[in-house]
Amino acid sequence: MPNAAHARLKARFARIAALNEAAGMLHWDASAMMPPGGAASRGEQLAALAGLAHELLTAPVVAEDLAIARADGIWAETNLRLMARAHARATALPTELVEAAARANSACEKTWREAKARADFALVRPALAEVVRLQRETAQALGAALEMDPYDALMDGYQPGIAAADVEPVFAAYEAFLRDALPRAEAIQAARPEPVPLPGPFPVEVQRALCRRLSARIGLDYEHARLDESLHPFCGGTPEDVRITTFYDEQDVAKALLGVLHETGHALYERGLPKEWARQPVGEAAGMGAHESQSLIVEMQACRSDAFLGFLGRELREAFGGPAEPYEAGNLARLWRRVGRGFIRVDADEITYPAHVILRFRLERALIGGALDVADLPAAWNEGMRDMLGITPPDDAKGCLQDIHWHDGAFGYFPSYTLGAMAAAQLMKAARAAVPGLAEALAEGEMAPLLGWLRAHVHGKGSLLGFQDLLREATGKPLDPADFTEHLTARYLQA
């Protein structure tokens, strides 16, 4: 009964997806809403959900049904193939390991919040060591089952089809570009007039209203979305109920505003996934690199373009008032496209951002491979920052404690940021060529032409195509880092 087998599989995967949606909501709640005393019981809840999803995915009947199920059409065929991949990944891992990792991640994330606030790495070290130990075990089990290098097996969980061997040459080439481009960009910037700061402070209530209005303006439907606050901004929830968060700073409106535009890019991708394949593997986003390409095409490619900055300046002046000069597009460009050697990844400019990612990629590979101990992480981090950007973090809060990722068990995820930045540049170049009047629309704060193109070529494709095939169909070629350096050269290296 090939058709019955396929129907059974679809029902099972829809149930797994509903459990994962519930877990996603509880993760959002833990970051945006939960009182601190709730952390331990939240860990139990997430462990139970992860354990049950895992059992559903690894049941022997899945393998039996996969062996006999048949499908008509490329969507259904791809769905079956992705089910088989998910089953293979999950059966590689014993339930006890999945639940132990979920518990360790939850405990470590909680401790990390305090350790970061106190800039005290020693506080989180034992919890992080336990997270790393369980991620190593996970990587080895996955690698053995899938016949992959352990670290590649983790990466494959975030951006399917991309391995360290694909990333290494791209990152090495970028490092070479950076050593030449960064001093040049700094010199060009130094020769320009200093930007005028916007006239703050910026009341949180006004920022919140502006962020909501602009994210709606560029396409987010608040009948299906929320905007809240959390320490580390993110996009969570589900395609029908997407939750973006930000962090307001009364002294700096750019942090929340550009952050919200970034998360809106993620949210628009989720909202645009093919509804007829909701809660099926082929209906999901095509990986974290693809996801980051959508946040960055909105934030970096579209919203920080000269055209859109003109619109943003008018909106900002209406919200906060004061003289016209600071709000002019040229001034905003000098303020918000400022190049510099900073400690914090999420505050980094487009040129130095990949350096932060390259460092983390190398460190996490060494942690998972066993070449680096958690105890030696702060020193290795600082050494890497000195080598790559010539700066030394004054404390670990500005060093290896700055990101939530490792403390939440996410290893193999960081490369996605730079894969996404490169893909965003490549997609934007293709969209500009394909959509007439795109820049003119952006100048009016009008995202619809770009969004329409992205809906057709990225969002609506779900996971039908792999990362490279998605780019190939949309732009005529696989990932080509030259489009990214071309973009950086045009934006930062023209005197």
| Residues known to be catalytic | 263
Evaluate whether 443 touches 308 at the Cβ level (below 8 Å).
yes
Residues with Cβ < 8 Å from 185, sequence gap 6 or more?
Answer: 339, 351, 492, 493
Residue from 4, 41, 63, 169 touching a copy of itself (CB under 8 A): that is 41
Does residue 433 touch a copy of itself according to CB under 8 A?
no
Candidate list 22, 66, 97, 391; residue touching a copy of itself; CB under 8 A: 22
- Rounded-to-integer distance, Cα 415 and Cα 404, Å: 15
Q: Is 8 in the site for a copy of itself (CB under 8 A)?
A: no
Q: Which is nearer to a copy of itself, 240 or 373 (CB)?
A: 240
Span interacting with a copy of itself, options 21-29, 78-86, 123-131, 194-202, rule CB under 8 A: 21-29
Written as six digits, the tokens of 481 are: 């880092």
Q: How far apart are CA 174 and CA 353, in angstroms?
A: 11
What are the binding residues for Zn(2+)?
262, 266, 292
Residues in the chain, overall count: 495
Residues 46-75 that bind a copy of itself (CB under 8 A): 47-49, 51-52
To the nearest whole angstrom, how small is the minimum distance from the Cβ of residue 56 to a copy of itself?
Answer: 8
Type and span of the H or E element at 312: helix 306-320
Binding to a copy of itself, residues 239-268 (CB under 8 A): 239-241
User: Of 43-51, 306-314, 413-421, 464-472, which part binds a copy of itself (CB under 8 A)?
Assistant: 43-51
Least separation in angstroms between residue 150's CB and a copy of itself is 30
Alpha carbon distance 306, 174 (integer Å) = 25
If we measure between CA atoms, which residue out of 54, 68, 43, 44 comes closest to residue 19?
54
User: In this complex, which beta carbon is closest to a copy of itself, that of residue 203 or of residue 478?
Assistant: 203
How many residues touch a copy of itself under the rule CB under 8 A: the total is 39
Sheet holding 241-246, edge to edge: 225-229, 241-246, 235-238
Instruction: In whole angstroms, give the CA distance from residue 115 to residue 129.
Output: 14
* φ, ψ (nearest 5 deg) of residue 225: -155, 160
Q: Quick check: 217 binds a copy of itself (CB under 8 A)?
A: no
216 touches a copy of itself by CB under 8 A? no
Minimum CB separation of residue 306 from a copy of itself in Å reads 34
Selected binder of a copy of itself within 25, 66, 335, 443 (CB under 8 A): 25
Q: What is the per-residue DSSP string for 263-308?
A: HHHHHHHHHHS-GGGTTSGGGS-S-HHHHHHHHHIIIIIIITSHHH
What dihedral angle (degrees, nearest 10) is formed by the CA atoms of 146, 147, 150, 155? Answer: -50
Per-residue binding letters, 273-312, with a copy of itself (x by CB under 8 A): -----xx---------------------------------
Q: Output 49 or 424, the one with its CB closest to a copy of itself.
A: 49
Interacting residues toward a copy of itself by CB under 8 A: 14-15, 18-19, 21-23, 25-26, 29, 33-38, 40-42, 44-45, 47-49, 51-52, 221-226, 237-241, 278-279
